[in-house]
Amino acid sequence: MKFKHTSVLLHETIDNLKPKNGGLYVDATFGGGGHAKYLLSKIDSGTLIGFDQDEYAIQAAKLNFADLLKDESDPQLKLVHDNFSHLEENLVKLGYSDSIDGIYYDLGVSSPQFDQADRGFSYRYNARLDMRMDQSQDLDAYELVNTRSQKELADILYQYGDEKFSRQIAHRIVERRKEQPIKTTFELVDIIKDAIPAYARRTGGHPAKKSFQALRVAVNHELDVLKASLEEAIKVLRPGGRISVITFQSDEDKIVKGIFKKYSEVEIPRGMPMIPEGLKPTLRLVNRKPITATASELENNKRSHSAKLRVAEKI
C-alpha cells in the first residue's frame, strides 16, 4: 500500500520544534508520514503519536512504518485513528496529559486522497460525490449538495471557497436537483461551469476549484475542528514545548494566527505594577510572520505555493 506525498515545509516545520532525544511528539495529521519520518530521523529515542481520521492513511502507515510499530510494549510510533479535534482525550487514554514536547499540523487534503478517484475530492476524476476524510461519518458531499437550501449552499461556497459566483452556482445546483439528484463530481463540475460566465472561466485555474474546496471544508467541518484541536494542543504542551502549523487557506491561517495571538498577548490594566499569574501569556511566538516555501521548494512542489507555517512555544 503506497501513500506517496511530498511534504511541504518539511525541515522548517520539524526543525522549529527542536526535536530532542527522549521527547514526546504528536503528528496531528499523519498522512503519508513524511514529516514523521524526518522527525524520527532527528532523534535516537523518543515517541511520536500520529493521528489521522483517514483509515487508508492509518493502514498505509502500519505497513510503511512497521519497524517502528513492532515493539508493542514500547513502540517508537503510536498511531491513533481519530480526528485531531479529539487530541486531548486520546492522549489522556495513552497516559500523556500535559507532557508533549512538540505538536505539528499539515492541514488540508493530501495528494493520495486527491488521487483516489472514488473518494470524490477532485474535480479531475468522475466519482460519486463524497469528500469525507473519515469514511465512517454520515455527512458527505452528495448529501450536502442535494439537501441544503440555496442560501446555505451559497454561504458555504462564499465563506469557505471565496467563490464570487456562489449565488449563481447555488441557484443552478438547486434547479438541477429538482430534475434528479446530483450524484457525481463531473455532474457538479458541469453545473458550476454553466453558472460561471465565460469570461471568468478563462482565467484563475479550473472553474470548480473553489467550489470543491468549499464543499470539502464544509463536509469535514475543517475550520471548527481546527479551532478545537489547537486549543487542546496548547493545553497538552509542556512548558518549552512547541507547536508548528502549516496552513493552505486564508481562513485556516486566520484561525491559527488568532489563537496564537490570544495566548501570546495580554492586556495589562493601567497602573498595575506587575502581571498577575492568571494574566501572563501562555505562548511565545517563534515567528511573527509566517514562514513560506523557498524558491527551490516552490519550483519542485506546486502544493507549497499557498503554504504558511506559524510556530509558537509554550511559556
Element (H, E) at 277: none
Neighbours of 240 (CB within 10 A): 12
35 is in an annotated binding site: yes
Quote the cell numbers at residue 309. 507555517
List the beta bridge partners of residue 27: 50, 104
CA distances from 125 to 7, 22, 54, 221 (A): 23, 44, 20, 23
* 33 marked ligand binding residue: yes
List all residues 6 or more positions away from 1 whose beta carbon is below 8 Å from its beta carbon: 56, 59, 60, 63, 64
84 marked among binding-site residues: yes
Task: Judge residue 245's burial from the number of C-beta atoms within 10 Å of its C-beta, 0-12 exposed, 13-18 middle, 19 or more buried.
Answer: buried
253 annotated binding-site participant: no
End-to-end CA distance of the chain: 41
12: helix, coil or strand? helix
Residue 34 known to bind ligand: yes
In the annotated binding site, the residues are 33-35, 52, 84, 106, 113
Binding residues for S-adenosyl-L-methionine, by number, are 33-35, 52, 84, 106, 113
